Amino acid sequence: MNLLIAMMLSLGCFFLLVSLFPVAKIISHPGAKGVENYWRLLIVLIFLFLCGYLAYTSFFWWSYSRLIDLIVPTIFFFGAVFVLLVTSLALKTAQELQHTFQLEHASITDSLLGIYNRSYLDRRLLEEFSSARRYGHELSVLMIDIDHFKAVNDNWGHQVGDQVLQNVTRMIKSRLRETDILCRYGGEEFFLILPHTSGSAAMVKAEQIRSEIEGGKDYPQALTVSIGVAAVTSQISSAEDLAWQADMALYRAKQAGRNRTEFFSQEKCRQLKS
């Protein structure tokens, strides 16, 4: 029996030591931000448990003679097993959650530009439009298109074209608030959702973006953008209508000579159709 108890206590100490490794990995895991101190406290408790194991062992080593003497070592042993299982499962859960987050993030992010993609745009625009209609707050959108972008690819190659897209993305983001939502609409087109923003404020924002890109130096050739702006009104019945209005305003900006910003209006739209 003495040998059995000695093995249980030794294994218990070993399991407690092993449990420190998953705890250390959890503390360094990105998902543990904000709760690191709790895990550090667990490390302290594990060391206290180890001290208890050693103290118990030193006092009662090889002096067990009755069956009842198995109770405390058994509790110590399964307590160590429990700590090891909990820490290992916590680490596994954190890793699985991180993997799930990465997959979800990849599914809604444009791999080249690091901004949201069209799939996320469709979902988020509907959410923001519904919120604006329900609570009566303002909402504006911008559709941005790089002028003559095909010439960049034709003259300098697609790798340079990708760098231009990245530079344009960086310049647009430099003018955004934390609440603004920038998405890649497709190709060289961007879509910007501006919650709690009036049409006039959106026009100011659009002009800032247009001027920022026009004055950029990190291009192989002169580069400009055309921007269409639309805002939620009582006449707009859906998020699709809002996106369509921004698209029509962008079309008018291109028809008017590019490198300009246009706000959607029914009158101008009728002029385009005529």
Instruction: Calculate Rg over the CA atoms of the chain.
Output: 31
Same domain, 135 and 265: yes
* Owning domain of residue 27: 2-107
Q: Is residue 112 part of a domain?
A: no
For 14-49, write each residue's pLDDT tens digit. Answer: 898 999 999 888 888 776 677 788 888 888 988 888
Q: Is residue 36 part of a domain?
A: yes
For 207-241, write each residue's pLDDT tens digit. Answer: 999 999 998 887 888 899 999 999 999 889 999 99
Same domain, 140 and 96: no
Same domain, 12 and 100: yes
Q: Report whether pLDDT(205) > 70.
A: yes
Same domain, 166 and 269: yes
Specify the pLDDT at position 273. 53
What's the predicted TM-score (pTM) here? 0.72
Same domain, 38 and 172: no
Q: Is residue 97 part of a domain?
A: yes
Same domain, 166 and 47: no
Same domain, 96 and 133: no
Same domain, 126 and 52: no
Q: Is residue 113 part of a domain?
A: no
Same domain, 127 and 244: yes
> Tell me, what CATH number does 183's domain have?
3.30.70.270
Domain boundary among 72, 107, 142: 107
Specify the pLDDT at position 193. 98
Same domain, 184 and 248: yes
Q: Is residue 143 part of a domain?
A: yes
For 59-85, write each residue's pLDDT tens digit. Answer: 666 555 555 566 777 888 888 899 999
Task: Say how many domains are in the chain.
Answer: 2
Same domain, 90 and 164: no
For 90-120, write each residue's pLDDT tens digit. Answer: 889 888 888 888 888 888 999 999 999 999 9
Domain boundary among 55, 74, 107: 107
Same domain, 28 and 139: no
